[in-house]
Homo-oligomer: A and B are copies of this chain.
Amino acid sequence: MIPLGGLGEFGMNCMALRWQDDIIVIDAGLMFPEEELLGVDIVVPDISYLIENRSKVRAILLTHGHEDHIGGLPWILSELNVPVYGTEFTLAYVEGKLEEHRLLDNADLIEMLPGKRFTLGPFSVMPIRVTHSLVDCVALAIHTPVGVVLHTGDFKVDLSPPDGKPFDLHAFAELGKQGVLALLQDSTNVDRPGYTPSERAVRPRLDEIFSQTKKKLFFSCFSSSIHRIRLAMELAHKHGRKVAIIGRSLDNSTEIAQDLGYLDLPQGLIISPGQIRDMPAEKLCIMISGTQGEPMSALSRAAVNNHKFAKIDAGDTVLLSSRVIPGNEKGIYRMIDHLERRDAKVIHDDGTAGLIHVSGHGSQEELRLMINLVRPKYFIPVHGDYRHLKRHAELAGSMGVVEKVVLLEDGDILELDKNNATKNGKVTTGRVCIDSGGSIDVVEDVVIRDRQHLSEDGIVLPIIAINKRTGLVENTPEIVMRGFAIQDEKLVTESRNIVQRTLDNSSPEEKADYAIIKEKIRNDLKRYIQKSTSRRPLIMPVILEI
């Protein structure tokens, strides 16, 4: 067993299992970069180990469709084209993603069904239905020559899932009876005591918010929260509001959910964004993406009055049915301040808003429940920073059910047989930074590239000095290029003009919001440089406040 990602960080989950000359991989996730990694869009696990053992890799198995489990696929498949197994809904997400990167035609996507066992070389895989914030999620029981390795994927034990597809307690109980060699369990919420509430638990408070809202209701949630999207639409229908959907990711999710029967919408409920202006405010629910204050998201742009269709007026309500992902606080609060300045009522998860969001991950009692049910010989915490893994190991160790708890980190090799679990060496692992380019609303020919190509493609730093007092740009933008074009004066001059034009076309509010203005500059400059040089340098706008 060789974890390649997700054991020592949140995100980029990836776990390899090897038996002699056969390797299978569980999940292929991405993570979003830390602030230190300027100009990087996403981070994926280093898969050197898989590439070195290219001929042995039989398949990638996906537990569910969240980005931290599937987001690294385009990059991995472009290095290593192997069959990908997932449930119907998960594969629908994967298809869209691969299509965007023009990798779909050559991909081999194979559907797996919960409860239906299949064979991959020496492994026999049984997907087991679990509940989570997304639909169609599975744990994987992998029967190996030395015993069953059970990977929970992401889960909570939701006893009343809105889609009526229950958590398969019986399958886990059955496995526990037969004996499980190793349990790999999601550590995300190991810090939370008790049980995580059911997804249904948010309904009463959301219903109340719908009934109390007098003007437009802007409803924002994670675009993959199919349960939440369905609930919002049900409530909109109940309260006589039409629904407009704004934001590409939300659009995409809704479409997939509808196609696969997860959304059964009344005729005429959905209107197009263009119809918003023809409707009375009190008849509107606008589903909009951008709960995390992402600079170019629809909601962030609406907050500074820069969205064509989403106009936020005094008295409107903006509901963020989501949590604050650590690291995003400043962006989110900045967006909320902009919304409050427009006299919108903002309801977000600040501890006073009531139950407007629940987690998709099991809390301590659910983690204990699963360990009790499965009674594994070895327990290995997955998905988390080091401190979560450690705490999860302590939790499992204190139960007296497990023979041995093993604290693994990315790259550790764990050798398992019927009677032993021994760490033995390390493989190369790490984080690979990818600059995928393009904002979510711009469909362009996105090329994934490794940051190792930096020396080929170079770096461009547009440097702008903004006078905070006046909001004016103080000088002609400075352009610094390295590893790119040795003093190509025309390119520098034209880049300068591009940046100047972007600044001229931005509102004072946008210019006051550095995250937004940087993203705009980056996008515009990237488009120009790619077109005129066919190169894709790293572009890192620098704003100096003077």
A460-485: CB near B (< 8 Å → 1, else 0) gives 01010101110000010010101100
- Interface status of A52 (Cβ within 8 A of chain B): no
A465 contacts which chain B residues (CB < 8 A)? Answer: 454
Known: A326-B330, A326-B333. A538 touches B545 (CB 8 A): no
B545 touches A390 (CB 8 A): no
The residue on B at minimum CB distance from A338 is B386
- Interface status of A202 (Cβ within 8 A of chain B): no
A546 touches B469 (CB 8 A): no
- Interface status of A1 (Cβ within 8 A of chain B): no
- Interface status of A117 (Cβ within 8 A of chain B): no
A454 touches B544 (CB 8 A): yes
A135 to chain B, nearest CB (A): 29
A38 touches B468 (CB 8 A): no
The residue on B at minimum CB distance from A324 is B326
A450 contacts which chain B residues (CB < 8 A)? Answer: 546
Q: How large is the interface on A (under 10, 10 to 19, 20 to 34, 35 or more residues)?
A: 35 or more
- Interface status of A266 (Cβ within 8 A of chain B): no
- Interface status of A268 (Cβ within 8 A of chain B): no
- Interface status of A421 (Cβ within 8 A of chain B): no
From 510 to 542 in chain A, residues with beta carbon under 8 angstroms from any chain B beta carbon are 514-515, 518, 538, 540, 542
A518 touches B36 (CB 8 A): yes
A324 to chain B, nearest CB (A): 9
Q: How far is the CA of A450 from the CA of B468 in the complex (A)?
A: 13
Q: How far is the CA of A211 from the CA of B123 in the complex (A)?
A: 51
The main secondary structure of chain A at its interface with chain B is mixed
Number of copies: 2
A468 contacts which chain B residues (CB < 8 A)? Answer: 46, 430-432
A330 touches B327 (CB 8 A): yes
Q: How far is the CA of A46 from the CA of B385 in the complex (A)?
A: 41
A349 to chain B, nearest CB (A): 12
A32 to chain B, nearest CB (A): 12
A543 touches B191 (CB 8 A): no
- Interface status of A351 (Cβ within 8 A of chain B): yes
The residue on B at minimum CB distance from A40 is B545
For A387, give its contact among B346, B390, B480 (CB under 8 Å). B346
Q: How far is the CA of A436 from the CA of B483 in the complex (A)?
A: 32
A537 to chain B, nearest CB (A): 12
Known: A480-B461, A482-B463. A329 touches B326 (CB 8 A): yes
Q: How far is the CA of A192 from the CA of B351 in the complex (A)?
A: 8
- Interface status of A244 (Cβ within 8 A of chain B): no
- Interface status of A488 (Cβ within 8 A of chain B): no
Q: How far is the CA of A478 from the CA of B478 in the complex (A)?
A: 18
A48 contacts which chain B residues (CB < 8 A)? Answer: 469
- Interface status of A341 (Cβ within 8 A of chain B): yes
For A538, give its contact among B36, B467, B482, B544 (CB under 8 Å). B544
A372 contacts which chain B residues (CB < 8 A)? Answer: none
A3 to chain B, nearest CB (A): 15
A330 contacts which chain B residues (CB < 8 A)? Answer: 34-35, 326-327
B386 touches A340 (CB 8 A): yes
For A515, give its contact among B36, B432, B454, B542 (CB under 8 Å). B36
B482 touches A337 (CB 8 A): no
Q: How far is the CA of A351 from the CA of B483 in the complex (A)?
A: 48
- Interface status of A94 (Cβ within 8 A of chain B): no
Q: How far is the CA of A148 from the CA of B336 in the complex (A)?
A: 34
A222-256: CB near B (< 8 Å → 1, else 0) gives 00000000000000000000000000000000000
Most B CB atoms within 10 A — which of A468, A480, A483, A540?
Answer: A468
10 contacts between A and B (CB under 8 A): A37-B514, A37-B543, A48-B469, A191-B350, A191-B351, A333-B385, A433-B544, A463-B482, A478-B482, A540-B542
Give the top 6 A-B pairs by smallest Cβ distance, nearest first: A430-B469, A36-B514, A430-B468, A326-B329, A340-B387, A337-B386
